[in-house]
A = this chain, B = another copy of it.
């Protein structure tokens, strides 16, 4: 009988752990909560970086998409969130001249809030690394140093792609 009870307890523990794991999202990066549902955001642009062999899509939440489509991007409006999803590049098996995504490198985000993020140029900067989306917490200066060349473009490299209306 006790074996049955132990089995039952273990089964329940496993079940609870499974539910917890399924609901868990990544820990914050630079104090910023993981943005839910970004995987289904609309597209602002794409890019292929031939200096480090990565290929990217730049996504935006609704506020960012509206701003991008209407050219209202310098400055971007408060509430806009930009997401840059970065993969290592590779050749498409069935069309070798097409360079396409391979392994996920990381997903990076800029959260526009000109009042909240006065110390980091009006943006919150966050990054989650790898498929396990491990939070990056080495400091926003890692982000802003690289973005300094585009400080006159509200710190954003991306030029929104042209979409038909």
A residues engaging B (CB < 8 A)?
Answer: 39-43, 45-51, 55-57, 59, 65, 69, 85, 87, 89, 92-95, 97-101, 103-104, 107, 128, 131-133, 149-150, 153, 157, 159, 161-164
Contacts and interface: CB of A to CB of B under 8 A. Distances in A.
Contacts of A107: 164
A41 to B, nearest CB: 7
A50 B133 CA distance: 31
B159 A92 contact: yes
A45 B159 CA distance: 19
B162 A51 contact: no
A65 B43 contact: no
A contact patch SS = strand
A133 B162 CA distance: 12
Nearest to A50: B97
Nearest to A97: B51
Q: What are the 8 tightest A-B residue pairs by CB atom distance, in nearest-first order?
A: A51-B97, A101-B161, A48-B48, A40-B42, A48-B99, A46-B46, A47-B98, A47-B100
A58 to B, nearest CB: 9
A131 to B, nearest CB: 5
B39 A163 contact: yes
10 contacts: A41-B42, A48-B98, A48-B100, A49-B97, A49-B98, A51-B97, A51-B98, A87-B161, A94-B157, A95-B149
Given A57-B43, A69-B39, A163 B85 contact: yes
